[in-house]
Structure 1
Amino acid sequence: MKFLLFITIVLIIILLFYLLKYNKVNILMTIILTYFIINFILNPTLCIDASINGAKLFFTSLFPSLFPFIIITNILVAYDGVNIYSTFLGPLISRPLGLPKEASFALIISMLCGYPLGAKYSCELYDLGNINSSELSKLISIASNSSPLFLIGSVGTSMLGNTRAGYLLLFSNYLSCVFMAIILKHKYKEPVSKLKVKTIKASKNNNLGMVLKSSIENAIATTLNIGSYVVIFSVILAIIKNNVVFNIVLNKIYMESSLPKNALSGIILGLIEVTNGCYLLSKGNINYVLSLCFISFLCAFSGLAIIAQIHSFTHKYKEISIIKYVIRKVIQGVISFIITLVSLLFLNDRTLFTFSNKTPLTISFKSYIPILLLLFIYFAHYFSKKLFDVS
C-alpha cells in the first residue's frame, strides 16, 4: 500500500513538472479544478460545513473590524489625506528607503489599508512615470503589509482574545518591512521616465454625503471581496485537510518537528490563505510564543491567496518577477518571526500575554538546524557581496 502511494506521489510530481515546464497551464488548472469538483460531489457536507465556517470566520473576526476602518480610510483618501501625508512625510519616509517622494503614497496606503492596495497603487505610480521598474520591484515588496485592523482587531482581539498581542504583531510586521527596505536599499536615482503629467489624487467632490456614500459602497465591495476569498479558500483548505497525501506529509513533518498536528496544519494551510491559517494557529494546542511567532510569519508572508491578488496587478510588467516577490516575502516572514520571538523574550509574558489553551514550550529545534544554516549562508553571501563586492 505504501509503495503504491509512493508511486502515485511520484507520478503526480512528474505530471506537474511536465505541465509547468511546457506551459500547459490550462491542462493543469483543469485537472486541479476537476479534483475539487469531484470532492464537491462526493463530500457535499464537508464543503458546505467549510463554507459556513469560512463565513462565520469572516463575519465574526474580519467584518466587524475591517468594514468601519475601510470606510474611514476611504473618507480620508477622498479628502486628499494621503496626499497631504505624502507631502509632509514623503521625504521622511521614502528617501531613507532609497525611493522617490511619490512612493510614500503607496507606503502610507499600505500601512493604513494593508494587502493588496499597496501593490495596486505602486503599479499606478509606475504607469504614471513616478517610479522606474527597479523602484517598482522594491516598492511592491515593501508596500505589501497586513492592515493594522487585521492584526490588532481580527487576529489579536477576535482570534487570540488579546489586543496587546495584535500590537506586537503590528510592530513585528512593520519593522520587518524596514529591515527588508534596508536589505533591498540602493542609491536613490531619479525615475527613468520624466513624464509626470499625472498624479494620483482624490476626487474634487467634497460633499460629505456623496463621499460617505461612495466610501460605504467601496467598503462593502472590498469587504465582500475579502470574505469571498476567505469562504472559497476555507472550502479548498478543508478538501486539502481531508486529502490522504496531505495527512501523510503532515504526519512525517510531525514526527520530525514534534509540533502539534493542528499547529502544523495551521502553518501549512496558512501559507495558502492567511486568515484561516491564523485562526487554526490561534485555536491550536501550541505554546503561545510559537503561536504568535508563526502567526507573525504568516501575516508578513501573506499567503498564496494574497500573492495571487498582487500578481493580478503586476503580471502585465515583464520586468517584475513574481518569484522574486515570493522569495522576498518569505524572507520578510522569517524576519518578522525572529522579531516577535526576540520581543517576547524581553516582555513580561505573564502580564501581557496569557492564553489558557496554550501548552508549555517543549519543541526540539534540532530539525531546524539545516534551515538556519541555509539562512546563514544566504545572508553571509548577501552581505559579503555588499560589503566586499564579492561576486
Structure 2
Amino acid sequence: MPLYRRYSLPLLILMLLFLFILMAAHPQSSLNAGLRGLAIWWDVLFPSLFPFFVISELLLGFGIVHFIGTLLDPLMQPLFRVPGCGGFVAAVSCASGYPIGAKLTVKLWEQKWITRIEGERLVAFTTSSDPIFLIGAVSVGFFHQPEIAVVLGAAHYGGVLIIGLLMRFHGSRSGDADTHGNRPQSAATAAGHTGQPTPTSLAVAPNAKLDASSAQRRGRLRQALFAMHTARLEDGRPFGELLRQAIASSLRLIIVVGGLVVFFCVILEALTNSGLMSGLRLLTASLLSACGLPPTLTDSIVGGIFEVTLGAQAAGEAIGAALPFKVAAAAFVLSWGGLSVHAQVASILNTTNLRYLPFLLARAAHGIISALLALVLWRPLMGWGSSPVFSPIYVIIWSPGFSSTVLWQSLLFLTCLLIAMLCLSWLSAGTSRLFARLRGAPRK
C-alpha cells in the first residue's frame, strides 16, 4: 500500500476532529459564518447559476453540443487539442461559470467523446467565472464601479485563453492514441440522459449513416444541423421529461455548491478563531510587499484561497490600496476559484479517471496570469483618466511607483512565466512516461 494512502485516512480524521473542537469552542462565530455562507449562496450563487445549469442540460438534450462541436472542430483541435464538442463546454462555462465546465466535461467523458487527457485539458481552461457574477456581484456589488468590468473581464477571460493554449501541451500523444479508438462516431452519443443513468445507443441507423456521408459533402453548417437532428432523435425524451430531469439534476448540483460554500465559510472562521490564519496572513503580506503590492490586500488573497466570494468582497473593501491593485487581486481570486470551487470540481471528477492535479496547477497559473494581465491592461483599456471616476486614481497609482519600465518588466515577467509553464508541461509529460516505464505498464 502506498505511503500516502496508509496515512491519509488517519490524518483526515485528526483534521476533522480538530475542526470540530474549534467549532465547539466558538459556536456563535461558527453559526454566524454559516449564516453568512448561506446568504452568499442564496443571494448570489443560486439565482446566477441555477438557470444556467437547467439551460445547459436542456441544450445537451436537444443536441446543441453536436451542432457547436461540429462547427468548432477545426478550431478546437489545432488550438487546444480537444475535440470540437469541447467548444460547447467552453461557451457554456464562460456563460454560466464554475463548476459547469467540469460537469459537462464529465458527461462528454462518460459518453466516450473525449479521452482522459483531453478531459483534463478541457476542464483546466473551461473553469471560469460567469459574466453575471463578474459584473453584477464583483464590479457593481463589491467595487461599486461597473467600469472596472472591462479590465476584469479582459484579464480573466484572456487568462482562460492563455491557459487553454498552455494545456494543449499536457499529456503525451501516445496516451491519447490508446483510447481514441473508443470514441463513438455517432452524432448523438454525447448528450445522454441527464437525470437517469440510462445508456443511449451508440449505433446509428444505416440510412442515417448514408445521410451523414452525404452531409459531409454539403458543408460544415449542414453537417452541424444533421448532427443536432440525429442527436435529438436518439435522445427521444419529450420536452416535459427533459425539463423535469434537467431541474432535478441541477437542483442536486446547486445544493452541493451551497453546502460547500457554507462549509468553507465555517472552516475559515474556525481557523481564524484558532489563530492559525495569522501565520498565513503574515506570509501573504510578506510576499505582497516583496512583489511591490500593497499588503492591505492580504485579507483578499487569504480569503480568496478558501472561497472566491469572500476574497472578491475583501478586495473591493481593501483600504489603502489603489484601484488597479484591488482589481488585480480580484482577478487572481476569480481565476483561482477558491478551495470551495476546487472541492466542487474534485467531487465531480471523482467518478472518472480525470486527475485533479492538472486542474490545480492550471488554476494557480490562471490566477497569476490574470493578475498580471489586469495590471498590464489597466492603462490601455481605461485610458488616461478622461473619466472623472478614474482621474484621481492615476495620480495615486502611476506616479511615481509605476512607469514604462515597470510595464516592460511586467511584460517580461509574463513572458518568462508562460515559457516556464510550457517547460513544466513538457516536463510533466516526460515524467509521466518515465513513471509508466518504471512500473512496466502503460498509464490508463
Mark yes or no: TM-score above 0.5. Answer: yes
Contact kept? 2:106, 2:352, Cα under 8 Å: no
Q: Does 1:179 align with 2:162?
A: yes
Structure 1 residue aligned with 2:365, among 305, 325, 331?
A: 331
- Identical counterparts, % of pairs: 22
Aligned to 2:42: 59
Query: Which stretch shows the higher mean deviation, 297-306 or 39-48?
Result: 297-306
Structure 2 residue aligned with 1:278, among 309, 312, 328?
A: 312
C-alpha distance 233-360 of structure 1, shift in aligned 2 (>3 A):
farther
Q: Give me the TM-score of the superposition, normalised by structure 1.
A: 0.77
Larger radius of gyration between Structure 1 and Structure 2: 2
Aligned to 1:241: 272
C-alpha distance 250-125 of structure 1, shift in aligned 2 (>3 A):
same
Contact kept? 2:125, 2:163, Cα under 8 Å: yes
Structure 1 residue 360: deviation in Å? 4.5
Contact kept? 1:164, 1:353, Cα under 8 Å: no
Structure 1 residue 195: deviation in Å? 4.5
| Runs of 5+ unmatched residues, structure 1 | 1-18
C-alpha distance 85-152 of structure 1, shift in aligned 2 (>3 A):
farther
C-alpha distance 348-140 of structure 1, shift in aligned 2 (>3 A):
closer
Aligned to 2:341: 306
C-alpha distance 133-284 of structure 1, shift in aligned 2 (>3 A):
same
Structure 2 residue aligned with 1:342, among 370, 376, 392?
A: 376
Structure 1 residue 96: deviation in Å? 2.9
Aligned to 1:48: 31
Structure 1 residue 42: deviation in Å? 1.1
Query: Which stretch shows the higher mean deviation, 274-283 or 257-266?
Result: 257-266
SS in 1 for 2:181: coil
Contact kept? 1:50, 1:238, Cα under 8 Å: yes
RMSD: 4.0
C-alpha distance 72-62 of structure 1, shift in aligned 2 (>3 A):
same
Contact kept? 1:265, 1:280, Cα under 8 Å: yes
Structure 1 residue 385: deviation in Å? 10
Q: Does 1:288 align with 2:331?
A: no
Write the deviation string for residues 141-188 of structure 1: whole angstroms up to 9, x where unpaired. 122222232222332333233344335433322221221222233599
Q: Give me the TM-score of the superposition, normalised by structure 2.
A: 0.69
Contact kept? 2:128, 2:335, Cα under 8 Å: yes
Query: Which stretch shows the higher mean deviation, 38-47 or 98-107?
Result: 98-107
Kindly report which structure 2 residues correspond to 1:151-230, keeping only aligned pairs within 5 A, or say none: 151-185=134-168, 192-196=180-184, 199-201=189-191, 203-207=235-239, 213-230=244-261
Aligned to 2:203: none
Aligned to 1:264: 298
Whole-Å separation in 1 of the counterparts to 2:380 and 2:342: 33
Aligned to 1:104: 87
Structure 2 residue aligned with 1:149, among 106, 120, 132?
A: 132
SS in 2 for 1:193: helix
Query: Which stretch shows the higher mean deviation, 69-78 or 269-278?
Result: 69-78
SS in 2 for 1:101: coil
The amino acid that maps onto 1:236 is I
Aligned to 1:251: 282
User: Which gives a bigger RCO, structure 1 or 2 (Cα 8 Å, sep 6+)?
Assistant: 2
Write the deviation string for residues 180-234 of structure 1: whole angstroms up to 9, x where unpaired. 2222335998762244156222653453x55555555555444333222222211
Query: Which stretch shows the higher mean deviation, 353-362 or 43-52?
Result: 353-362
Contact kept? 1:78, 1:206, Cα under 8 Å: no
Aligned to 1:7: none
The amino acid that maps onto 1:336 is S
Whole-Å separation in 2 of the counterparts to 1:353 and 1:71: 39
| Runs of 5+ unmatched residues, structure 2 | 192-231, 432-444
Write the deviation string for residues 41-96 of structure 1: whole angstroms up to 9, x where unpaired. 11111111111222222333333433444444444444433433333334334443
The amino acid that maps onto 1:24 is Y
Contact kept? 1:106, 1:143, Cα under 8 Å: yes
The amino acid that maps onto 2:180 is V
Kindly report which structure 2 residues correspond to 1:116-127, keeping only aligned pairs within 5 A, or say none: 116-127=99-110
Contact kept? 2:135, 2:149, Cα under 8 Å: yes
Write the deviation string for residues 109-166 of structure 1: whole angstroms up to 9, x where unpaired. 3223322222233233333332233322222212222223222233233323334433
Query: Which stretch shows the higher mean deviation, 97-106 or 266-275?
Result: 97-106
Q: Does 1:135 align with 2:125?
A: no
Whole-Å separation in 2 of the counterparts to 1:30 and 1:289: 42
Aligned to 1:297: 332
Kindly report which structure 2 residues correspond to 1:68-79, keeping only aligned pairs within 5 A, or say none: 68-79=51-62
